[in-house]
A and B are shown apart, each in its own frame.
Chain A
Amino acid sequence: MIIKKPSIFIYTCQADSRILKEICAGIEEEGVFFEVTEQDEEDIDLLAWQAANDSMPGSGIGICRTTAAFQMRGLEKGRNVERCQNPAREQSRKLGADSARAVKKQAFK
C-alpha cells in the first residue's frame, strides 16, 4: 500500500530561490508538509493547477522564475486563489501561509 503524505505540492520552473525559500517558510510556520518538484513547464497557471490536482489535500503552488501562484483543487485552471509577480518577503510568506491554511480549513491571512 502506498500512503501519500498530506503535502502541499510546489511545482517550480527555474524558480527564484529567495521567493521559494520564503514561501516554504510561510508553510512551515503553519506546520504543514510540502514537497518541491522541478518541472519542465513555463505556464504558471498550469504549474499551480497541476500541483493542486496532484497534491493529496488539494493545495498547490506554482513558481516560475519570479512569479508565484497558489491554487486549490476544484478551481479551474487560471483561476488562481493568489498570484503575485516579484513578491516582497511578506507577500511570499503570506502566499505560503495561505496555501497551508487552505489545508487546515482556516481563513486566509
Chain B
Amino acid sequence: MSYIAGVDIGNSTTEVCIGEAGRDGHIHFLASASCRTTGTKGTLANVHGIRTALKQAMESIGRQTDDLSLIRLNEAAPVIGDTAMETLTETIITDSSMIGHNPSTPAGAGQAVGKLLLIENLTYAEQGISYIVAASSAHSYEEVAGLINAASSRITITGLILQADEAVLVENRLQKKIPIIDEVAQIHKLPDGVMAAIEVALPGQAVRMLSNPYGIATLLGLNAEETRTITPIAKSLIGKRSAVVLKTPGGNVRENVLPAGEIYFHTAGLAGASGYAQGLAAPSGEPYPAAPGRRVSSVNLDEGADRIMQALEEAGAIQDISGQPDTNVGNMLSRIRRGMGELDKSEGADIRITDILAVDTLAPVLVSGALAGETCLEKAVGIAAMVRTQKLPMQEIASQLHMELDTEVTVAGVEAVMAAIGALTTPGTMLPLAILDMGGGSTDAALISKDGNVTMTHQAGAGELVSMLIETELGLGDRHIAEQIKKYPLAKVESLYHMRMENGQMSFVEESIDPRFYGRVVLLAEDGLIRIEQDIPMEKIVQVRQEAKRKVFVTNAFRALRRVAPGNNLKNISNVVLVGGSAEDFEIPEMLMEEFASYRIVCGRGNIRGSMGPRNAVATGLVLSYVGEKK
C-alpha cells in the first residue's frame, strides 16, 4: 500500500490530490486540497504552499505527510501571466471654470446667474447687481441663513454655494427660496467677483441648462465663439444633479491624450516577405532591428484594444513582443520581462513575451483642478502578457521538497497532457476532447485526438485580468474586493429582514441582518455577507462584472480553441471541457456555453472524478499517469 500525491502549481493556486495505489495497480482517490501559490509559479518559494496543501490533504484522511511514498510535480508550462493598466486620456479643469457633482442633498431647484461674492464681503455688495454667495464651513447654517435674510432686502441674491453639507438646513431658514449647492470641498478656490451660473436639478432629474452649450450661452450671455469653447464643460456636466459654471477668461475643460507608446510584434517572417503587414505603419527609427528572417510590425497603444488584437492576429507567429523604450507600454512590458528573468537565471536565458490580450476599459479618475472631487471616466487599456522562458526550474523545487520531506519527488508529465487525463475522468467525456483550462494568469487550451496526440496553446489573460478590469472600472482601488466581486453574486439589503438579489429575487431572513449592511450593496459569500464600501448601484456592478468576464474569457476561449482546432476551424471540435479555477465561476461557463452553442459544440464545466468539479484536473492526471508509467 502506498500513497501517491499529485501536485499542480498554478499562477494563483496550488492543488494537490492524494491517491492510494493498490497491488492490482488500481488507484483509489482519497483526498485533495488546495491553497494559494506562495511566490511566483516555478520558484523555490512555492515549496511552502505545496507543503501546506499536502499537510491539509493528508490530515483530512488522518495521516502525516511522512506517509507519502511519492510526490509527482507537474512540468509546469514555462509561461507566466502578468497584467498592467494604462490610462490614455486625462481631463484637466483650468482656472476653476466649473463644478459638477452629485451632492446627496442639494436644496431648491432651478438655475440662477450672478457675480460670485464671498459671504464675508456681503456688506460691499452693490444694488442692482445679482449675486451668487459662497460660504465656507466656518459659518454655521443659522449664521448663513441670517446673513442672507438680512441682506436680501438690500441686494439681490440669486444662488448659494456651500462648503458644508447644509443646503437643506439653510434653505429651510431662508425667506426667499434660491437654488443651493453644497459639499463643495475646495470652495476657497472660487474666484471672487466672477460671473457664474448655477443649477440644481429637480428631484430625480439631472441638470438641463448647464449641460447644454446654448443653455450656458443663454445664462452667461456668450457669443458664438465663446459657446464653442465651453462645449467640453457642458459635456462633462451631463448627468449631474448640481452644477456651477464660471465665466473665467482662461477657464476650460481639456482632454489630454497621453503618449502611450507603440507595441512591436516580432514575428518569424519568411525571408524576403512583403515587409510589414498591410495597414501597419513601419515604425520610424526602429529601436529593435529585425533579425534576418524576422519581421517587425507595430501598433500604437492609443489605437485601442481592437486594433491591437487585430494587429496581433495579422502579425502571425509571434516570436516576441516589446514596447517603445521610455513609454508607458515599453516600461510595462520590460517590467514583466524582468520579473521572469529573475526566475530563469541561466546564462543567456531566452525570455520572450509570446502573447498579449488587450482590453478597452474606462477608469474613473479624479479630475485635476476639480473643486468638488469630480471624477471623469478616462479611456484606458488593460493588458495581460504571457512570458515564456526555456524551462522553469521545477527540478530545484523537487529536490528542495525531497530534502524537506524525505520522500521521493519526481517532475512528471506536461501540464496540458495531465490536465487532459484528469479532465477525461469527467463523466460523459470521450476522445477526441478539447480542454479549456481557465486559471488565474492564463487561458490554456489542449486538444487530444483519438490516437492520443496533443496540441496545446497558452494565451495571456484570465481571472487576474478580470479582477483588474473590475477594480479600475469601478474605481475601487482595492484588488481584494475586486476579486470578491468577481467571485460572488450581489444583493441589496432593503430592510433589516430582507434583501433583493441581483436577479430580482427577494430573500427573507429569520434573524435581523446586522445594521452595518443596511441599505448597502453586499456580496453573498459562503461565510456571510461582505459589504461594498463604495456607493455604486448594484446594477452598475453587475454590468461591469459581466462585461469584464465576457471581454476576457469569451475572447480568449475563441482565440485558444481556434488555435488548437484542426484546420483552425471551431466546427472541427465536438467536446470542450472547462477546467481550472475560473471554470468554477458562477457565470463564466454559462456565458461560454451560450457562445459555443451556435458551433454545435458540447461545452460544460468539468467534473473531475465525478465529484471534484472543474478543479484538481492536473493533480488527478499526475496520480493517474503514475499507473500508466508503471505498466
Contacts and interface: CB of A to CB of B under 8 A. Distances in A.
Nearest to A81: B515
Contact of B515 (A28, A30, A31, A72): A72
Given A29-B165, A72-B496, A107-B535, A102 B518 contact: yes
A28 B167 CA distance: 10
B168 A29 contact: yes
B256 interface: no
B200 to A, nearest CB: 14
A52 to B, nearest CB: 11
A97 to B, nearest CB: 8
A108 B496 CA distance: 13
A37 interface: no
A22 B494 CA distance: 27
Given A29-B166, A30-B168, A75-B496, A101 B105 contact: no
Contact of B497 (A74, A81, A101): A74
Interface of A: 25, 28-31, 72, 74-75, 81, 101-102, 105-108
A30 B105 contact: yes
B512 interface: yes
B164 to A, nearest CB: 9
A76 to B, nearest CB: 8
Interface string B488-500: 0000001111000
A81 B167 CA distance: 26
Contact of A101 (B165, B166, B167, B519): B519
14 contacts: A25-B166, A28-B169, A29-B105, A29-B167, A29-B168, A29-B169, A30-B105, A72-B496, A72-B515, A74-B496, A81-B518, A105-B495, A107-B519, A108-B519
Among B494, B496, B515, B516, chain A packs the most CB atoms within 10 A around the CB of B515
B388 interface: no
B172 interface: yes
Contacts of B169: 25, 28-29
Contact of A107 (B141, B495, B518): B518
A31 B518 contact: no
Given A29-B168, A72-B515, A105 B105 contact: no
Contact of A31 (B105, B494, B535): B105
Contacts of A25: 141, 166, 169
Nearest to A106: B519
Chain B interface size, as a band, is 10 to 19
A81 B519 CA distance: 13
B268 to A, nearest CB: 56
Given A30-B168, A105-B495, A75 B105 contact: no
B166 A75 contact: no
B138 to A, nearest CB: 13
A4 to B, nearest CB: 19
B496 to A, nearest CB: 5
Contact of A28 (B168, B497, B512, B535): B168
Interface in B216-235: none
A75 B513 CA distance: 9
A81 B172 CA distance: 28
A75 B512 CA distance: 7
Contacts of B172: 28
Q: Which 6 A-B pairs have the closest CB atoms?
A: A107-B519, A81-B515, A74-B496, A107-B520, A29-B168, A106-B519
Given A25-B166, A28-B172, A107-B520, 12 more contacts: A28-B168, A28-B169, A29-B167, A30-B105, A72-B515, A74-B495, A74-B496, A74-B497, A81-B515, A101-B519, A105-B494, A107-B519
A101 B104 CA distance: 11
A31 B512 contact: no
A92 B502 CA distance: 34
Interface centre among B168, B494, B519, B520 (most CB of A within 10 A): B519
Contacts of A106: 519
Contacts of A105: 494-495, 519
Nearest to A28: B169
A31 B495 contact: no
A106 B169 CA distance: 19
Contacts of B494: 105
Contacts of B516: 108
Contacts of B166: 25, 29
A55 to B, nearest CB: 14
Nearest to B495: A105
Interface in B507-531: 512, 515-516, 518-520
A11 to B, nearest CB: 19
Contact of A108 (B141, B165, B512, B518): B518
Interface in B157-178: 165-169, 172
A106 B535 CA distance: 10
Nearest to B173: A28
Contacts of A101: 519
Nearest to A97: B165
Contacts of B165: 29
Nearest to B519: A107
A93 to B, nearest CB: 8
Given A75-B515, A81-B515, A31 B168 contact: yes
A70 to B, nearest CB: 9
Contacts of B496: 72, 74-75
A28 B518 CA distance: 21
A81 B496 CA distance: 11
Interface in B168-209: 168-169, 172
Nearest to B166: A29
Contacts of B167: 29
